Structure 1
């Protein structure tokens, strides 16, 4: 045999053997981790301005320094003896920039960090002493918390997998018909013949107008704005897979605009949505869905109803329930705990927190029933991952009011806010929202945008929060036993 061929063959065989060896070694590490170093894979998502980045940053900071975590039993009892950041397991996923975000929130000139624009990940490892006699016999064990941050707009896209282009177009155009933000798109669409031959400039103009409408609708407080990658395109911006728009019913002959938009819609599902599901979402076993309920209430009944429908659609993307042990080893996890968290509880006096939590629960009642029936545990809660206000009481026109005081984001000035009293019965909001009311009849709900307050943290303390410890107990407590 030719010496060169023999050497090349040896190199190929060696490369294959190395690859197989790495796969076996990787599989062994995975099984070992599941058996001896448990991994909790926590997904964190929410729609625009719900506070995903702040939630993750404050959660990690408060697990590293646990002085403000009395509601997390393993922290309160001292069974978490150490916590430290480690390299994440997924080498191709960007790392969540915890240090930069924490510096933004706790530095001498605190400010809100940049919002989520793509998937990121962070691993926090906890050295935990098991409860009771088992702790003395087995010693410390390591529990890895892998936090996966991803935009809620992408999660909404999972609902597209069950739709064809005609069905999605009908629903999207029906929503746009009722919203003034879509006026420019509707005007352009009125000049278009979907059955005419494809014109790339025309398709690009339609896609730009649809994207502009989605951005304006999101700013107006609406939640269901699909396709989500139109809002956060990343390196897909300008590609054909993001160059389509919903169209009215047509014959869609070969070579037409309608036929090509339908093809690109299917390509979007196959090449954008499904890979995200396989690579990230399908591997999650605990989930937080953060919701800016106060923002939706302030935007009006239509925005609140849109949020309710979006929450129901989001849960439909999960596979809630408990997996068998073997299924877990094989990687077919199911989400078995889901927390629906109404954020920005610090914008309300604590007297109204229970009402905010009740509205959150009512918004996702249908979705929760589906998840509970499938075996997943769910909970609704009102939280603030970073407390930006202090409470005070003041008499206004002879009425004693509970207010919150903070630094206004736009002006930098101190201000006190009483946003209005939320109703005791959530139906007082949800019924007019579902009935298509144009505005609230029984109250005026205001919102102020507060900046993070300057902090002085004592050793062992994380940033101040509201119920972040209880959220952690629900999501992680059973796995830290």
Structure 2
């Protein structure tokens, strides 16, 4: 452990003490605050999840499984200015307008950190009703770009370790062979030339974008995909190279230095300033998309989610633990999205596959004292269910508007197995395909809908997800 790490640890500990004493959520006689982190990899549906959750908490007609809504304990919900003036506000109004327009469209994916505060006026019911009056509970929702999540696993890796794993992953992935060919022509011990460094970084970025488009999850560093204002800076101008004991002034030595700078100046501040302050966490997972992309994509998703969850600080919050350990994630929900792409008769299989896929991550969180759950959801329902006649008998399908053509189509993705190991075993073995199984996904557009007064957008189990995440605090 270096002097920087020791100093940073001491400063972080002091910061935890200060924040625990001064932050409103822990102070007595102030309104309680729930900080909900919404994370997930690209295309998992974070923006839609937040928009629909807020809309359905403000108009609770479709939230019967959220007990505080069903009992009338939530009197009203309203948006307030967010507590952190340095973060962009989640553009809820624009996204809701897109999803509920006469010709609805999907909003753009998350490209930066944003935050939104929803305040709920809650009247305790039952025994507590006579002891407490109406109180306000603030829900601070923090949205993270999914591409940045996997960077948290880099904190425990050296440049040599990361390079070895990254080069191994590139073999066989889209544009991976092109990058490996460029590396084969490069001597890491040659003197640093900035043009060579830029060429390698650009080629590696092309590979990462191609791999992500093909459905792979583990594509680090995440800022190579969404660089923001760091585009072109030296902190993003590095790439994996073989070896590890590079000479002073060499290309390899400078690549390693920039990798460490990336961790210090990009990844660590992101973890410290945002992840370490979360109470409750929802991890959105596009399990169906991974299954569609094949066994390698499924196993890649399994390992990626285990890496992501290793960065959380799960466990029960108490006043003492917040002072001496910092904030801990009390509840983690693993939600398989796009459940509306399946007939409801297949939802149990999707949930079971999600549970098995995330077993390692869930076990780690459960052991640390966090409460976890897995379920299949659709934050915005885009389809209706039908049963059609097929040559082999009746077939349960979903019907929706296709994103590419706008035409209505009935869709059957294939029968998910009852035993998740029928998918996970070939995934772990590195199988090229599913053999006899054939699983497909369809890209549906949002369905036009007419919302009656008091109703939020249609969904599947969003109320059950909300009950798990925040119901105990309402």
* TM-score in terms of structure 2 length: 0.94
Contact 1:195/1:251 (8 A) holds in 2: no
Q: Call closer, same or farther: CA 1:130–1:331 in 2, change over 3 Å.
A: farther
Structure-2 residue corresponding to 1:422 = 416
Structure-2 residue corresponding to 1:460 = 454
Q: What are the residue-to-residue correspondences of 1:348-427 with 2, within 5 Å?
A: 348-427=342-421
Structure-1 residue corresponding to 2:315 = 321
Shift of 1:179: 1.7
Structure-2 residue corresponding to 1:192 = 186
2:105 is the alignment partner of 1:111: yes
Structure-1 residue corresponding to 2:287 = 293
Q: More deviation in 199-208 or 247-256?
A: 247-256
Query: Distance in 1 between the 2:25 and 2:468 partners?
Result: 26
Instruction: Report the 3-state secondary structure (helix = DSSP H, G, I; strand = E; otherwise coil) of the residue aligned with 1:393.
Output: strand
* Runs of 4+ that moved beyond 2 A: 26-36, 326-331
Q: What are the residue-to-residue correspondences of 1:222-261 with 2, within 5 Å?
A: 222-261=216-255
2:129 is the alignment partner of 1:144: no
Structure-2 residue corresponding to 1:155 = 149
Instruction: Report the 3-state secondary structure (helix = DSSP H, G, I; strand = E; otherwise coil) of the residue aligned with 1:310.
Output: helix
Structure-1 residue corresponding to 2:73 = 79
Shift of 1:35: 4.2
List per-residue Cα deviations over 1:413-459 (Å, max 9, x = no partner). Answer: 11110010000000000000001111001310011100000010000
Q: Call closer, same or farther: CA 1:366–1:351 in 2, change over 3 Å.
A: same
| Larger of the two Rg values belongs to structure | 1
Q: Call closer, same or farther: CA 1:32–1:181 in 2, change over 3 Å.
A: closer
Instruction: Report the 3-state secondary structure (helix = DSSP H, G, I; strand = E; otherwise coil) of the residue aligned with 1:185.
Output: helix
Shift of 1:191: 1.2
List per-residue Cα deviations over 1:1-44 (Å, max 9, x = no partner). Answer: xxxxxxxxxxxxxxxxxxxxxxx9x9767267654311100000
Query: Distance in 2 between the 1:50 and 1:58 partners?
Result: 14
Gaps of 5+ in 2: 1-17
Query: Distance in 1 between the 2:141 and 2:206 partners?
Result: 32
Instruction: Report the 3-state secondary structure (helix = DSSP H, G, I; strand = E; otherwise coil) of the residue aligned with 1:36.
Output: coil
Q: Call closer, same or farther: CA 1:242–1:29 in 2, change over 3 Å.
A: closer
Gaps of 5+ in 1: 1-23
Q: Call closer, same or farther: CA 1:147–1:325 in 2, change over 3 Å.
A: same
Query: Distance in 2 between the 1:313 and 1:338 partners?
Result: 15
Instruction: Report the 3-state secondary structure (helix = DSSP H, G, I; strand = E; otherwise coil) of the residue aligned with 1:447.
Output: coil
* TM-score in terms of structure 1 length: 0.93
Q: 1:88 aligns with which of 69, 82, 85?
A: 82
Structure-2 residue corresponding to 1:97 = 91
List per-residue Cα deviations over 1:35-75 (Å, max 9, x = no partner). Answer: 43111000001101000000000000000000000010000
Query: Distance in 1 between the 2:328 and 2:447 partners?
Result: 39
2:280 is the alignment partner of 1:273: no
Shift of 1:164: 0.5
- Give the aligned length: 457
